[in-house]
Amino acid sequence: MELGAFSVSLAVKDIEVSKSFYETLGFTVFMGDQSHGWLIMKNGAHAIGLFQGMFDRNILTFNPGWNSDAQPLEKFTDVRELQRQLKQHGLSLSSEADERSAGPASVMLADPDGNMILLDQHV
């Protein structure tokens, strides 16, 4: 199952403090809008998202249709197909994409320990 680009989305208390901390670790701002409470930071091929006030817990995020530089892939598995595969494996989803739609959509599920996983397709 090809899930797309991977990052960890961190629920942060103070985005400026977190940004400074991760800059010390060699991360730089890649995209986002700090005034709206979100930044994506990269260190080489590694990406993290900082999100203030958007969700309560950290989330493992996969972006079908994107490479690690947030550039569209020519060929990828659509999130609705991934959703069908997850259901075929008997996994329970906490949110689903509309099967009749096309383009951007998302699916959420939790792993056995309650860690949230977001499949967030932007293309």
Quote the pLDDT of residue 58.
97
Tally the C-alpha atoms within 13 A of residue 60's C-alpha that lie toward its C-beta.
Answer: 10
Cα 31 to its chain centre, rounded Å, is: 13
Instruction: Kindly tell me the sign of the dihedral angle through the C-alpha atoms of 43, 28, 69, 31.
Output: positive
With beta carbons less than 8 A apart as the criterion, state whether 83 and 106 touch: no
Say what the pTM is: 0.92
Quote the pLDDT of residue 19.
98
70-119 pLDDT tens trace: 999 999 999 999 999 999 999 999 999 999 999 999 999 999 999 999 99
Please report where in the chains the tokens 């080489």 appear, as a residue: 44
Q: How far apart are CA 79 and CA 97, in angstroms?
A: 8
Domains and CATH numbers, the chain: 5-121 (3.10.180.10)
Spell 18-56 as b/e; 16+ CB within 10 A means b.
bbeebeeeebeebebeeeeebbbbbeeeebbbbbbeeee
Tally the C-alpha atoms within 13 A of residue 27's C-alpha that lie toward its C-beta.
Answer: 20
14-68 pLDDT tens trace: 999 999 999 999 999 999 999 999 999 999 999 999 999 999 999 999 999 999 9
